[in-house]
Amino acid sequence: MTEPRSDDWQDLERRRRAHRAWFYARQPKPVSEVIAQLVQRRGYAQVRAAGQWNQAWQDAAGEHFARVTEVGQLRRGVLEVVAANSLVMQELGFEKERILAALQAARPDAGLKRLRFRIGRIG
């Protein structure tokens, strides 16, 4: 039987330390981080934001438009608004600049750049 060399022992010791550092470096995630990931994946933040957009839309567009429109999602600075019919959509086109300015003033942190109207079913 051959006697182990000192290089083998040093290599074994180095590998043991590396494995131990890897094993103990994996700490549990903080609960706040796990909850933030869950909220992001499930889209709960979007539901809350949609409620804020609904209120801002009602204030900016007025009662007449609020009854026949519905606010969609904000994507890349474009807020989608669903109109009940083409007549409403055309009227919204005339008021677009005023409504956009009012929405930007109501929610300056949202990064709203444009409004996009489309015809669809209002729920």
Residue 101: pLDDT over 90 = yes
**3-class DSSP state of 79:** strand
Domains of the chain are: 46-119 (3.30.300.180)
- Average pLDDT estimate for 100-112: 90
Residue 96: pLDDT over 90 = yes
Helix (H) or strand (E) holding 74: strand 69-75
User: Which residues lie below 8 Å from residue 53, measured CB to CB, with a gap of 6+?
Assistant: 71, 74, 79, 107
Banded pLDDT at 113 (limits 50, 70, 90): very high
Classify each residue of 38-77 as buried b or exposed e, where b means 16 or more C-beta atoms within 10 Å of its C-beta: eeeeeeeeeeeeeeebeebbeebbeeebbebbbbbebeee
Percent of the chain with pLDDT over 70: 89
pTM score, whole prediction = 0.60
The pLDDT score that the predictor gives to residue 30 is 84
